[in-house]
Structure 1
Amino acid sequence: MPEGFPAVAGVRPVRSSALRLPPPVVSAMRERLPEVAERVIDSVMREVPSYSEPFRGRMGRNIEVAVTMTLGGFLDLASSAEGVGFGARVGTVFEAAHSLGRGEARSGRSMDALVSAYRVGARVAWHDLSAIAVEAGLPASEVAKFAELVFDFIDQLSAVSVSGHAEESTTTGRMRQRRREQLAASLLAGATSERLLELAERADWVPPQTLTAVVLPVAAVGDVAARLDPATLRAGESPPGLEDRDHLTVLLVPDQGGSGRAVLRRALGSHRAVIGPVRPWEAARASYERALRVSLLEPEPADSPIDADDHLAELVLTADPEALADLRSRVLAPLADLRPAAREKLAETLRAWLLHQGRREDVAAALFVHPQTVRYRMGQLRELYGERLEDPALVRDLVVALAVSR
């Protein structure tokens, strides 16, 4: 790599043409560089709309100086002997091109506009400089070599800018991802609104109205995330509550209420996942805690998403396992002296009877027994409970105690 070039991967030495411009031709070109630079800028402003405003005013003057310096660096290159270092100005020009690509990435723009600007600049510079060169005595036989040198120089500038853009995009992307993971962790930890807003701004993340937590396998994240809003947040390693289940992670998906919930289920496909409820974005922790509780109820869910909203009653009933166990023991006390098998059959029959509101045929179907068997068992239960089976308070407690099948 010639002296003065920035160390940018993939950039080869610029000097591909054997042409070396004679000093009189170079002098003639240098005298008219300002007007050539002005024409280049006018053409870029006219043909590349993205640069029409940035090239105006004081910024336009700075750009004109930069273009003039770039053209001067080109003349340094064109007048040097092949294989000789091209001097500090050429290196500075390429460093500036590299920084220009990085700046485009930081601004969130693709390389399309800059590549177009290079293309327009090359065309105008070639047109004007070749005319000046011929006027100054450059033989017509050398004009083709001069064209090769001009477009090769611009290609190299473009390549360096693309490299800078790619480097900045990679760096920015990694940093943004780290900051968004930090934001997700703070949301799951229930940080204050002020802290969350600060982290959202640092992560370049515009808060949505709501977030929905999804607990899913780490292996499924890539496939699922590709189908979701790019603003979806992913928790980092070991989200709270999943420290011992490192094969699972959490996504926080923006605005999935209403019809969006069906869209989310489709995006999850056949992946095992638990979808939490929709919550205001700052309360995403509540959505996650609900999804986490359902995932604990279903440690190995079926090969399809589970909606926590479909398990509300079960969540309520299992909120205090000890209280539920005590209630169950109390309301089933009349069965305590029976043999375990008989006790279990009567408890199962009583549960079905309550849930099916005493419809004997439905109870029999649920239990896979004959309706006469249901009648016999209910006779036993009435003997054990007596008139208490008509007490609304006991009926309520029995429904709660027996609602969750054991």
Structure 2
Amino acid sequence: MDETLPDVRDFRLAEDIVVPLRERLPEVAVQTIGAITATVPAYAEAFAGELGAKIEKAVRAALGTFLNLVSRGAGPDPGSPLAPAIEAAYALGRGEARSGRSLDALLGAYRIGARVAWRQFAAISVSTGQPAPTIARFAELVFAYIDELSAASVAGHADELASSGRARRRRLELLAQALVAGDPPEVVIAAAERAEWAPPQTLTAVLVPERAARSMADLFDARTLHVAEGGPELPETTVLLIPDAQGPSRGHLIRLLSCRGAIVGPARPWLRARDSLTRAIRVSRLDVRAPAGGAVDTEDHLLALVVTADPQALADLRDRVLAPLSSERAATAAKLVETLRSWLLHQGRREDVAAELFVHPQTVRYRMSRLRELYGDRLRDPQWLLMLTVALAAAQAAPS
């Protein structure tokens, strides 16, 4: 662009040469449009509709601008006629991006238009007796001018894509924030429509370290939503809302997240994504470790979530069911509690209890005899067995 623009500005044609070119300009414009329509299918429909007249006017203006440029007087001219043409080409590039089209058709139209216009202008110039060097130089300037317009359209197209991309990313961020905040359905649905985001059946909340999130953009469904910060409770954590990761897809998701320190919530209907995030946050507070350093699946920690839902209630329950052991020495009580827990979980199978506790089956028999003395008929009461099972299983399932 920097090499061709001075050539266009420096070159001048005498007015008597430009006059016949200008008189034939409407004819050249029509022929140029005809060639573009026949050669670039993407523009055939546009030229045939109401837009056709506007495009014909634009083509005529571009050709007229070129003639104005090469026929004006010598000397500095701050009001160069090239500027409006560059602005129009830039706007045309932006319009193509807004319409969802690439620049292939537009740049093809520029090339075809340049060839056709040059042939017509050259024929007119030859008919008026212009010398060959002047005509050759004129050809260079026609194509330099088209290069200027093409470059402006490319810039406009790129700027529009960048601008619209930023705007859509922002709309997607607002949608994600509405989902994790648990906003009313009508608010979330409106946000999804503004973001042009097609709702899935379910969303699964995943907590990942911020450093890992940067390398995961291409791993998931393109509809995956991101919330850059998990809030005060989860500093340096990114929340991902991943579409349709239920059923067999959940196993695939867990494998994708291996070795990334992620916590995967349950799949929930997309409008209830907040529920999935809440579950993941609760598991993040537990002292749990992922297998082999991979992702934590919240489905593997449902018992811990249940028994820690109300820590004070759990403590009161333990105090109540362990009250019969209050007269025992601390060391003895601890062994009895351990044995009772294993006995409940193994449904009274003495050999299994002994294997778990690494003691002789006779030791298990002795301890259970003592427990029956302390608890009496309560060890046959279904309600007491339920309370004992929950309270003592919690010692294993809940974090210390």
Give how far 1:313 is off: 2.5
What is the TM-score of this pair, normalised by structure 1?
Answer: 0.87
The CA distance in 2 between the partners of 1:262 and 1:55, in whole Å, is 53
Once the two structures are superposed, residues 15-55 of structure 1 have per-residue CA deviations (whole angstroms, 9 ceiling, x without a partner) of 33664333333222222222322233233333333323222
Give how far 1:324 is off: 1.5
Correspondence for 2:246: 257
- Are 1:15 and 2:44 counterparts? no
Amino acid of the structure 1 residue aligned with 2:341: R
The question of whether the paired residues in 1 share the 8 Å contact of 2:110 and 2:146 is answered with yes
Any unmatched runs of 5+ in structure 1?
A: 1-9
The CA distance in 1 between the partners of 2:78 and 2:263, in whole Å, is 62
Correspondence for 2:221: 229
The CA distance in 1 between the partners of 2:27 and 2:255, in whole Å, is 60
Correspondence for 1:5: none
Residues 105-124 of structure 1 correspond to what in structure 2 (within 5 A)?
105-124=97-116
Give how far 1:87 is off: 4.3
Correspondence for 1:342: 332
The question of whether the paired residues in 2 share the 8 Å contact of 1:11 and 1:156 is answered with no
The CA distance in 1 between the partners of 2:2 and 2:164, in whole Å, is 22
User: In the superposition, relative to structure 1, how do residues 84 and 251 fare at CA in structure 2: closer, same or farther (>3 Å)?
Assistant: same
CA RMSD of aligned residues (A): 2.6
Residues 90-239 of structure 1 correspond to what in structure 2 (within 5 A)?
90-237=82-229, 239=230
Give how far 1:93 is off: 1.3
User: In the superposition, relative to structure 1, how do residues 190 and 126 fare at CA in structure 2: closer, same or farther (>3 Å)?
Assistant: same
Correspondence for 2:318: 328
What is the TM-score of this pair, normalised by structure 2?
Answer: 0.89
Give how far 1:326 is off: 1.2
- SS for the counterpart of 1:212 is strand
The CA distance in 2 between the partners of 1:400 and 1:388, in whole Å, is 15
The question of whether the paired residues in 2 share the 8 Å contact of 1:15 and 1:82 is answered with no
Correspondence for 2:282: 293
Amino acid of the structure 1 residue aligned with 2:50: R
Give how far 1:319 is off: 1.7
Give how far 1:372 is off: 4.1
The question of whether the paired residues in 2 share the 8 Å contact of 1:26 and 1:79 is answered with yes
User: In the superposition, relative to structure 1, how do residues 28 and 349 fare at CA in structure 2: closer, same or farther (>3 Å)?
Assistant: farther
Once the two structures are superposed, residues 107-143 of structure 1 have per-residue CA deviations (whole angstroms, 9 ceiling, x without a partner) of 3333333223223322322333333333333322344
Give how far 1:159 is off: 1.4
The CA distance in 2 between the partners of 1:55 and 1:34, in whole Å, is 16
The CA distance in 1 between the partners of 2:58 and 2:238, in whole Å, is 49
- Are 1:353 and 2:343 counterparts? yes
Report how many residues are paired: 394
Give how far 1:301 is off: 5.1
Identity over aligned pairs, percent: 53
The question of whether the paired residues in 1 share the 8 Å contact of 2:89 and 2:149 is answered with yes
The question of whether the paired residues in 2 share the 8 Å contact of 1:38 and 1:64 is answered with yes
Which moves more between the two structures, 69-78 or 126-135? 126-135
The CA distance in 1 between the partners of 2:290 and 2:75, in whole Å, is 68
Give how far 1:330 is off: 1.0
User: In the superposition, relative to structure 1, how do residues 61 and 317 fare at CA in structure 2: closer, same or farther (>3 Å)?
Assistant: same
Give how far 1:62 is off: 0.4
- Are 1:308 and 2:298 counterparts? yes
Identify which of 35, 59, 66 aligns with 1:43. 35
User: In the superposition, relative to structure 1, how do residues 323 and 87 fare at CA in structure 2: closer, same or farther (>3 Å)?
Assistant: same
Amino acid of the structure 2 residue aligned with 1:341: A
The CA distance in 2 between the partners of 1:54 and 1:266, in whole Å, is 49
The question of whether the paired residues in 2 share the 8 Å contact of 1:295 and 1:301 is answered with no
Give how far 1:247 is off: 1.0
The question of whether the paired residues in 2 share the 8 Å contact of 1:80 and 1:86 is answered with no
- SS for the counterpart of 1:249 is strand
Identify which of 349, 374, 385 aligns with 1:395. 385
Correspondence for 1:6: none
User: In the superposition, relative to structure 1, how do residues 392 and 111 fare at CA in structure 2: closer, same or farther (>3 Å)?
Assistant: same
Correspondence for 2:273: 284
The question of whether the paired residues in 1 share the 8 Å contact of 2:66 and 2:82 is answered with yes
Which moves more between the two structures, 314-323 or 261-270? 261-270
The question of whether the paired residues in 1 share the 8 Å contact of 2:289 and 2:296 is answered with no
Amino acid of the structure 1 residue aligned with 2:284: S
Residues 243-254 of structure 1 correspond to what in structure 2 (within 5 A)?
243-254=232-243
Once the two structures are superposed, residues 268-296 of structure 1 have per-residue CA deviations (whole angstroms, 9 ceiling, x without a partner) of 24211112222222111111111111122
User: In the superposition, relative to structure 1, how do residues 265 and 12 fare at CA in structure 2: closer, same or farther (>3 Å)?
Assistant: farther
- SS for the counterpart of 2:46 is coil
Amino acid of the structure 2 residue aligned with 1:346: L
The CA distance in 2 between the partners of 1:12 and 1:44, in whole Å, is 28
The question of whether the paired residues in 2 share the 8 Å contact of 1:216 and 1:273 is answered with yes
- Are 1:59 and 2:48 counterparts? no
- SS for the counterpart of 1:265 is helix
The question of whether the paired residues in 2 share the 8 Å contact of 1:25 and 1:137 is answered with no
The question of whether the paired residues in 1 share the 8 Å contact of 2:4 and 2:144 is answered with no
